[in-house]
Chain A
Amino acid sequence: DTGVSQDPRHKITKRGQNVTFRCDPISEHNRLYWYRQTLGQGPEFLTYFQNEAQLEKSRLLSDRFSAERPKGSFSTLEIQRTEQGDSAMYLCASSQGQVDTEAFFGQGTRLTVV
């Protein structure tokens, strides 16, 4: 396994368009997280899945954002009607087991809304 994989690595879109990102976690990991990171800041939690169940969503995740993990494996994050403020790095992470085990992060998808 090569780790957490995210696609695409970069996305430039016009304001108002919809975008979808994909995350493939490490295969045996049941926990999957999405974070958003802007320049000079640490990652901010967006949402969490345990298997296919979405157990928590941050208030940062407006109605324009939706995430799925249909079969408990890969996950998608969709942003509808993108705004310039959505420009950021979107990071996916996965982990397995107890709360103290490390989360492995993907390389991220850098979104630029023009």
Chain B
Amino acid sequence: GQNIDQPTEMTATEGAIVQINCTYQTSGFNGLFWYQQHAGEAPTFLSYNVLDGLEEKGRFSSFLSRSKGYSYLLLKELQMKDSASYLCADIGNTGFQKLVFGTGTRLLVSP
């Protein structure tokens, strides 16, 4: 894992769907997390993927392709409160949850 890459910033309108992509280095991969972080606040857990496929949780879904080193977070029915940074992070093969984060994608939802 590691070498996380995600877009710096995205914009979308309320009610729309947005997909935030993340790529990572596939060697030593043990799982991928998505966290949400509002400005000035702590990151909060959104999802964890270790197997290929789509995990759905309400308005948020996360997808993983291990062979491609690719994940995305899908946000549906966007709300203003979804304006935040979305952090992609992987864990290596250290045996504990040492998260290696990307720079985060700042999402701005407009009316």
Contacts and interface: CB of A to CB of B under 8 A. Distances in A.
A2 to B, nearest CB: 12
B97 A103 contact: yes
Majority SS of interface residues in chain B?
A: loop
A77 B97 CA distance: 19
A99 B103 contact: no
Given A44-B101, A99-B96, A105 B44 contact: yes
Nearest to B45: A102
Interface stretch (A14-22, A48-56, A60-68): A48-56
Interface string A35-47: 1000011111100
Contacts of B45: 102-104
30 contacts: A31-B96, A31-B97, A33-B97, A33-B99, A35-B99, A40-B103, A41-B103, A42-B4, A42-B89, A42-B103, A43-B87, A43-B99, A43-B101, A44-B101, A48-B96, A56-B94, A56-B96, A91-B42, A95-B97, A99-B31, A99-B95, A100-B48, A100-B97, A102-B33, A103-B45, A103-B99, A104-B45, A105-B35, A105-B42, A107-B41
B42 A107 contact: yes
B28 interface: no
B23 to A, nearest CB: 14
Interface string B93-111: 0111111111110000000
